[in-house]
Structure 1
Amino acid sequence: MVSKLTFLGTGSAFTVGAANWQSNMLIESEEGRRLLIDCGGDARLALAERGLEARDIDAVYISHLHSDHVGGLEWLGFSTYFDAGAARPALFIEENKVARLWTNSLSGSMARSGLATLDDYFEVRPVSGDGGFVWEGQRFDLTGMLHCMDGSVPLISFGLRFETDIGRFLITSDTRFEPQRCASLYAWAEIIFHDCETSYAADGTPARSGIHAHYEDLRTLPSDVRAKMWLYHYQPGPRPDAQAEGFRGFVAKGQVFGL
């Protein structure tokens, strides 16, 4: 079963430097196996900071196809492929994103003149958007979150919800502020790791991107919901006092949570 969740980084897509990394996470089992939750462009640096390399990753889950969530897959795939002592990592991903992950994100460099496919680098395990998967005895259920609109087409990022002996956990992944849509999820979960942007204009007004939940909107949630929430995926610079406003707080880079 799973034992702990480590935030390799807690920053937004455009976080720069070792002060923080992009919001990728690591779940470890009691036997010491590792599931990487998203693999952004700086995942190799974040892992190296913790003394880990590609061969230490047994599986990876991808929530959606933006670079801060898939930009490190070329490194992971090539590193394990050319390492005789490494196994192919398992790749859990919503089934409708498998083909686009390869054709739109990875094949340009990894296809090797058409000789290779995604299956050469990863043990691909497609997951239904309304289903889930089991890793090391732990069930994870996919949770579709509205991240943004590509014209008239909704871009869904698949968060994860799961239950262990100590509680019910929700990782939203990237999501807009959708309180009515998420009400049942918020009610179900006992600990919520929630996407939270913290951008403000020079005059102090919120600079909402429309593709992430802004802190100023999250703070309007009922107190019992805020009391469950850890906030992550925030921008560099000063942040509000989340604990003073009833949240559990902003997750720090490297923070570990027992599962």
Structure 2
Amino acid sequence: MTWDLRFLGTGAAHAVELGSSAVVLERDRQPLLLVDCGPDTLDRYVDAYGAPPPALYVTHVHMDHVAGMERLFFRLWFDEALRGRTKVFLHATLLPWLQGRVADYPGALAEGGVNYWEAFHLVPCTRGFWHEGLWFDVFPTRHHVQGTSYGLALRGSFVFTGDTRPVPEALVTHAANGELVAHDCGVIGNPSHTGVDDLEREYPAEVRERMALYHYGSFADGETLVSRGYRIARPGEPLALPEPHPPRPTAG
């Protein structure tokens, strides 16, 4: 069995040429879970797989990570075979924010009679969630206001930080078993995002060697990160993952 993390887009919010940051966990080349859904993500996903996603995890609700959910709603609602089947996983504290971003506009359809979430299968979580026989850990990150962003980890396989400052306290737990670490990183950090100097200050070399950096500002910025000795994720690129560890018996 093969496992991959395919990056549909790798850009910061302004880096439209790189696509909105989003990844897909693949098992034997088949999509298992989409992480984030920005303005262009659905098009990139359908181009890659031919159909909308069966499951989506939302790291946080900035529009470059959730704006595509409006189009996804219409795609699902008007296909009876898909309506209500796509699972949406997110930390429970994000639900009011996501509701305000994508679901509160008066009338999901002009004709009325439809609630936004009827097109989906909403699954709020706290510590993590089960999906396709796998336990995914959810952990808080450092992006703007505390309690508004959460990363994702599959033990033994990968960690996806989402937009964040460095989170060494989380990686001590969630990147302790050889996982690939997909980490937010630009050339220069700021109060909400990691810079390459932050990586070198906050993480040991062994963890940095397992990183794939994304959410950078341009193609040129990506090459600058490469010149600093880092691997970057590139749009459309799948990265091979280690086999996930079996779920812990006490998980869930």
TM-score by length of structure 1 reads 0.80
Residues 89-131 of structure 1: CA deviation (Å, up to 9, x unaligned): 1111111222331233332165347743343111011111xx1
| Change beyond 3 A, Cα 1:51–1:59 | closer
Aligned partner of 2:93: which letter?
N
CA distance in 1, matches of 2:20, 2:210: 23
Match for 1:47 among 24, 45, 48? 45
Match for 2:135 among 133, 139, 142? 139
**Deviation at 1:147?**
0.6
**Deviation at 1:64?**
0.8
**Deviation at 1:53?**
3.6
| Change beyond 3 A, Cα 1:21–1:82 | same
Match for 1:148 among 144, 147, 151? 144
The count of aligned residue pairs is 236
Is 2:199 the counterpart of 1:218? yes
Is 2:90 the counterpart of 1:93? yes
> Kindly, what percent of the aligned residue pairs are identical?
30
Matches within 5 A, 1:60-209: 60-88=56-84, 89-108=86-105, 111-112=108-109, 115-128=113-126, 131-149=127-145, 154-163=146-155, 167-179=156-168, 181-182=169-170, 184-185=172-173, 188-190=176-178, 191-198=180-187, 206=188, 208-209=189-190
Q: What is aligned with 2:5? A: 5
**Deviation at 1:245?**
4.2
CA distance in 1, matches of 2:28, 2:171: 32
TM-score by length of structure 2 reads 0.82
After alignment, is 235-244 or 208-217 more displaced? Answer: 235-244
Give yes or no for contact 2:4–2:29 (8 Å, CA) kept in 1: no
Unpaired stretches in structure 1, ≥5 consecutive residues:
199-205
After alignment, is 71-80 or 185-194 more displaced? Answer: 185-194
Q: What is aligned with 1:232? A: 214
Unpaired stretches in structure 2, ≥5 consecutive residues:
242-252
1:86 alignment partner, SS class: coil
